[in-house]
Amino acid sequence: MKTEQNETKTRRVYSLIRDRIFQGGYKEGSPLPSTRDLAKELGVSRALIVEVYEQLMAEGYLEGRQGSGTFVKDIGKSRPFHIQFVDVSATNELSSLVDSDHLNKIDFRPSFPALEHVPLQKWKRASLDVYNDAPYSAFGYQEDIAGCLPLRQSICQHLLKIKGFHCVPSQVIVTSGATQAFSILSKLLLKPNDAVAIEDPTATFIHDIFASTSARIIPVPVDEHGLCVDRLPAREQPKCLFVTPSHQFPFGSILSISRRIQLLDYARTTGSYIIEDDYDSEFRYGGMPIHALRELDSERVIYVGTFSKNMYPSLRLGFIVAPQELVDPIVQLKRMADMQCSTLLQLTLARFMNEGHLERHILRMKRIYGKRRTHLISALTETFGNKVKISGDAAGLHLIATWPGRNAGLLTAIQLEEHNIKVYPAERYTICKDKYNESLIMGFGNVTESQITEGVQTLAQFI
């Protein structure tokens, strides 16, 4: 297992090479030193350099050419980024009532965590400590609607360690899950008939939230490199853009660095804000988590995170990291929505995080989800052979299974539900229809290996 010291060293080497690319030290099209030579130059292991190169390839900075080496890609650098550096350290639906019918179902729900592995004993101890230590004022209204300062500080430290970007507690607004965050942002940024560009396909609730403002939805297609930035409207100026750059939902692609830069340029030119949904990219099965888009521009990107995937959905705690100019308007909308999130829940989560339990839980669940992911891939390939194509499995809690030339749509889902198997046709997440009838989105977070085996065997009867 990689030690914390090695993890830190990997991040430093990653940042060093990436900065050289941005600063022109490594120019586009030029070859990088061999892994052996660079390891010798920096005094690190060759395996570490290989890992960093692979990470940079995944994010679109580099490309490997067989027999020739590793080269810098043209990422279209055009303007400086507004990257914010702050020393964070210096700044001071889990239900027990489940019906028997649900227990018998095998549910391949995407982006849903393993509820049986929620660390309840540690959570209970943290909660009890908070109740024992909390002042009487904690049972009243919060003075700061943005959230409890201890939790906002913990979120900043978590984002710095896990996602590699800097923010301060004054930029963090705690919300009742990511859903409330998107609802608040849609009300803030959109008026009737304003344009909003969103990925297609996307989560259905995202489409519904933006549509509820009577804004005009502009669907933008995605491919294996994420949002097709060149398909953004040229003659309109959307008020905001919705993206999932670290792990596109539902197709799982990573927005490459060249497209990230194009997207930021587009946002600056049109005056649009980018809403970045980072819902489950902590669970990446090769290398570090993909860095956030917000790391490249803290002025145009509004970052939304949640604890529904790395803890449990009914916790109902999420957060917004906003540009400073938007903080007060967001807080006012939060005040009108519900006054505040539960103070005691916030304090419990802050203590849970500060004691290191969340980080350890994420590492443990990454191993468990990794095994389930591998088992699902094996079950699909063993059952369907080369008739199935699997993609979008590099991170998160779901993958995409595609049967070229075969229908895997709504009828398949209905037939399977009669056998207590729930699958999710990709078509249900699309705005422009009849493009993905051959694909199913299959989650592996909240199903056991035996359930995966049974579910795939049943699936084979209908595809």
More confident residue, 143 or 457: 457
Residues 22-37 have a mean pLDDT of 84
Contact of 298 with 84, CB cutoff 8 Å: yes
In the predicted model, is pLDDT for residue 93 greater than 90? no
Amino acid at 226: G
Confidence at residue 103, expressed as pLDDT on a 0 to 100 scale = 54
Residues 102-119 have a mean pLDDT of 87
In the predicted model, is pLDDT for residue 102 greater than 60? no
List, for residues 277-335, the tens digit of each pLDDT value: 998 888 988 877 888 999 999 999 999 999 999 999 999 999 999 999 999 999 999 99
Confidence at residue 162, expressed as pLDDT on a 0 to 100 scale = 86
Q: Give me the domains of the chain, ranges plus CATH numbers.
A: 4-72 (1.10.10.10), 100-117+365-459 (3.90.1150.10), 122-358 (3.40.640.10)
Residues 19-23 have a mean pLDDT of 81
DSSP-derived letter for residue 356 is T
List, for residues 135-152, the tens digit of each pLDDT value: 888 888 888 999 999 999
List, for residues 350-392, the tens digit of each pLDDT value: 999 999 999 999 999 999 999 999 999 999 999 999 999 999 9
Give the residue among 236, 314, 230 at the shortest CA–CA distance from 271.
Answer: 236
44: buried, middle or exposed (CB in 10 Å: 19+, 13-18, 0-12)?
middle
More confident residue, 5 or 242: 242
Query: Which residue reads 């006054």 in tokens?
Result: 339
Tell me what percent of the residues of the chain surpass a pLDDT of 90: 64
What average pLDDT does the chain have?
89
Confidence at residue 412, expressed as pLDDT on a 0 to 100 scale = 82
Read off the pLDDT band of 2 (50, 70, 90): low
Residues facing 31 on adjacent strands: 71
As given in the structure block, the two tokens for residue 455 are 């579910």
Confidence at residue 92, expressed as pLDDT on a 0 to 100 scale = 44
More confident residue, 3 or 166: 166
